[in-house]
Chains A and B, each alone.
Chain A
Amino acid sequence: MMNRVFAVAGGTFRESVRDRLFYLVGFFGIILVGATMVLSPLTVGAQAKIVADVGLAAMALLGLLVVLLVGANMVRKEMERRTITTILTKPVGRGEYLLGKYLGLTVTLVCMLALMGVLYVVAVLLTPATLAWSHLGAIYLILLELLVLTAAAVLFSTLAGPALAAVLSLSLFVIGHLLDSLRDFGALAGGVRKAVAEVVFRLLPNLEVFNIRAEVVHGDPVSAGHLGMATVYGVAWVIVFLLLARAVFARKEL
Chain B
Amino acid sequence: MNVGSLARVVVVVGLLAVLPLVASSVRSDEADSSRDERLYYPSGDFLRQATLGFHAPAADYVWLQATQYYGGYHRGEHDLRYFDHLVDAVATLDPGFVEAYHFASLVHCIDHGDFDRALNVLQRGILANPSNWRLHFDMGFVNYVFKRDFAVASQWFATAAEMDGSTDFCRRFAAFASRRAGDLEGSLLLWDNLYQTTDSADMRALAEKMIERCQETLSGAPQDGLIGPPAPSNKTTKLKESS
Contacts and interface: CB of A to CB of B under 8 A. Distances in A.
B103 A177 contact: no
A42 interface: yes
B103 A53 contact: no
Contacts of A213: 53, 56
B103 A45 contact: yes
Interface in B94-144: 94, 96-97, 99-100, 102-103
Contacts of B102: 45
A54 B59 CA distance: 11
B52 A173 contact: yes
Give the bracket for the number of chain A residues in contact with chain B.
Answer: 20 to 34
A38 to B, nearest CB: 11
B60 interface: yes
A46 B97 contact: yes
A19 B64 CA distance: 36
Contact of B60 (A45, A54, A178): A54
A57 B57 contact: yes
Contacts, number: 60
B53 A207 contact: yes
Contacts of A173: 52
A181 interface: yes
Nearest to B56: A214
B68 A42 contact: yes
A44 B54 contact: no
B103 to A, nearest CB: 6
Interface in A17-71: 39, 42-46, 49-50, 53-54, 57, 60-61
Contact of A53 (B52, B56, B67, B99): B56
22 contacts: A39-B64, A42-B64, A44-B63, A46-B63, A46-B99, A50-B57, A50-B63, A53-B56, A53-B59, A54-B57, A54-B60, A57-B54, A57-B57, A173-B52, A174-B52, A177-B53, A181-B49, A211-B53, A213-B53, A214-B94, A215-B96, A217-B56
Interface of B: 49, 52-57, 59-60, 63-64, 67-68, 94, 96-97, 99-100, 102-103
